[in-house]
Amino acid sequence: MTVLTSGVRKVDISYRFHPVGQGLFTSGRIVHNYRLHSWTPPVFSWVYDCGTSSSISKFLLPELNHFGMESLLLGSSIDLVTLSHFDSDHINGLTELLERVSVQTLLLPLIPLWKRLELAFMDGVRLDSETMDFYLNPVAYLMNRFPERLQTIVLVPASLPPPERSSEKINEPRPWVEAGQSHIATEQELDADLSEELKTLDPRQRDSIKQLAPAGTIQVSQFWEFMPYNDLHMCPIPPPAFIANVSSLGAQLLNPKCSKFHRSVLLLAIRGHYSSLAGHTAHARNRISLFLYAGPIGRVTVSQAIGSTFMRPGGVETKATINLPFGPTTQQRLSVLYTGDGYLSDQRSVDALFAYLGPSRIASLACLQVPHHGARSNWAAGHAAQFDPHMAVFCSDPARKNLRHPHSEVVSDFSGYSTVSVDKKKGAVIEGTLVLH
C-alpha cells in the first residue's frame, strides 16, 4: 500500500507467474492507500493470459480460485485482462476466469475473420464446436455469454510502428489523467470490418466495444502504463483467393440465424479450399500473439525490486528469493514484458517490437516472459542480450516428454541472467516499490 513518510509517497507493485504447468497465467496489482491520498480505487489489478494444456482442473482452477478469493477480499473486479492469442486452452481459461470475477477492460488482438479461421483450421478446432463460435466472432461470443461480467472490450489492431514519434516524450504521462484513475487511448471509430461483425449486438453492447489507437497505451494515474503490441503484421498473408472466399461467405457465417448445420457446411467448404491453396505445411509463424509491456512512467523512482519463487504446500505460501542484479551502480527496474506465444525467432521480429515500444521501455525491463514456454522455434541465439532483462521467466512443464520445454538452447541464451522456471508447483513473483515525486 502507499506509505506516507515525511511527504514521500510510495506505491507497491507486484506481479505473479502462476504455476499452471504447460501454460501461462499471470497477474499483477498496484496497491496504494486511498485513505491517505483520497485516491480511488485503492487497487489496480491485471491478468495476462489464463490457460494451460496441462490439467485445467488440477492446476489452473486452484490458482484461479486462489486469485479470485484475493480479488473478492479486496472488494474489486479485475481492471485489465489480456488474452494474448486464440487457442482452446486460453479460451477455456478466460471463460473460467469470467465465471469467477468481473472485468473492467478486456484486451483482445484485432484479427480479421479470414485469419481467425486460418488459426482455427491450424488448431484443428471442430467445425460444430463452441470454440468455433469464439473464433467466428470472439466479441459477440464473450458479450453474449458474460453480459454482466464484461464492461469494455478493447481490440488491439496490428501494431505498425508510427512513421515518427510525436513530440510527446515516450513514457511521459498524460497530465489530465487524475490520481486513482486510468485512461485508455482509443479511436473515435471502429474498423469497418469490425463494425460489420458487431451488428448482431444490441446498441448498449456495441457502445462498450472500443479500438485501441495507434501506439495507444493504458495509463494508470501518473505513474504506470501498459502498452500492447499485436504482431499480426509480421505474419505471412495466405493466398488472396482464400481471403476473397471468406469475405464472400462472411455475412452468412456471422448471421445468428444461420443454423449450426449450415454453418458447418460452409466452414467445411472454406477449410477444403484453404487446404487446397495453402496445403498442410503452413509455417507456425502464422500464429499471432498480443504482447503487453507494463512499467513505470513519469516522475517516479524504483526504490526496490525483489524477485521470489513461491510454492503452496498444504495451502500455505512459502517464498525463496531470486538473485537479481543489485549494486551501487545498478539501475533498479520494475517493468515487465509479456510475450505469450509470440515469435522472436529472427532479427526482423525483434526490430519491429523494439521500434514500436521504443528504447526507453526496453531498457527498463526487470522481467521478460520468454515466449512460448522457451520453444526454440520462437527464439534465436543472441536475443537475450538485446532484451537484457534482470530476470527471464520460463512457464512450462519440463516433464512433458513430447515437448520438453524450455529447450536447452533457449535457456543457454539466458545463461548470463537470472532465470526462473515456473512449472506445475513453483511460481514466481516480482515485488517492487515506486517513489512518486
Q: What pLDDT does residue 285 have? A: 56
88 phi and psi angles, rounded to 5 deg: -60, -45
> Burial level of 291, CB count in 10 A (0-12/13-18/19+)?
buried
Q: Which residues pair with 153 in a beta bridge?
A: 106, 209
Q: What pLDDT does residue 176 have? A: 64
Quick one: cell of 421?
522456471
Please give the average pLDDT of every successive group of 10 residues along the chain, which has 437 residues: 54 92 92 55 84 85 82 73 88 89 95 94 91 95 94 94 56 70 86 90 93 92 93 89 94 92 96 79 67 92 87 76 62 92 94 94 95 92 96 89 85 93 92 87
Spatial distance between the Cα atoms of 187 and 156, rounded to a whole number of angstroms: 11
Spatial distance between the Cα atoms of 347 and 337, rounded to a whole number of angstroms: 18
**Close Cβ partners of 35 (under 8 Å, ≥ 6 residues apart):** none
- Give the CB-side neighbour count of residue 373, counting CA atoms within 13 A: 23
Q: What is the CB neighbour count within 10 angstroms for residue 377?
A: 14
Q: What pLDDT does residue 365 have? A: 95
Q: Give the number of residues written for the chain.
A: 437
Q: Which residues pair with 47 in a beta bridge?
A: 27, 81
Q: What pLDDT does residue 120 have? A: 92
Q: What pLDDT does residue 281 have? A: 44
Spatial distance between the Cα atoms of 399 and 425, rounded to a whole number of angstroms: 12
Q: What pLDDT does residue 221 have? A: 84
Spatial distance between the Cα atoms of 288 and 212, rounded to a whole number of angstroms: 17
Q: Which residues pair with 103 in a beta bridge?
A: 78, 150
CA 363, chain centre distance (Å): 20
Q: What pLDDT does residue 250 have? A: 93
Quick one: cell of 24?
501461462
**Close Cβ partners of 395 (under 8 Å, ≥ 6 residues apart):** 17, 20, 23, 24, 369, 373, 422, 423
Runs of H (alpha helix) within 101-170: 113-122, 130-136, 138-145
Rounded to two decimals, the pTM is: 0.93
Integer-rounded Cα radius of gyration of the chain: 21
**Local structure of residue 433 (DSSP, 8 states):** E
Quick one: cell of 341?
506465444
Contact 66, 97 (CB under 8 A): no
Going by C-alpha positions, the residue among 159, 141, 139 that lies closest to residue 209 is 139
Contact 16, 432 (CB under 8 A): no
**Close Cβ partners of 97 (under 8 Å, ≥ 6 residues apart):** 47, 50, 64, 78, 81, 103
Contact 231, 349 (CB under 8 A): yes
Q: What pLDDT does residue 74 have? A: 57
385 phi and psi angles, rounded to 5 deg: -65, -30
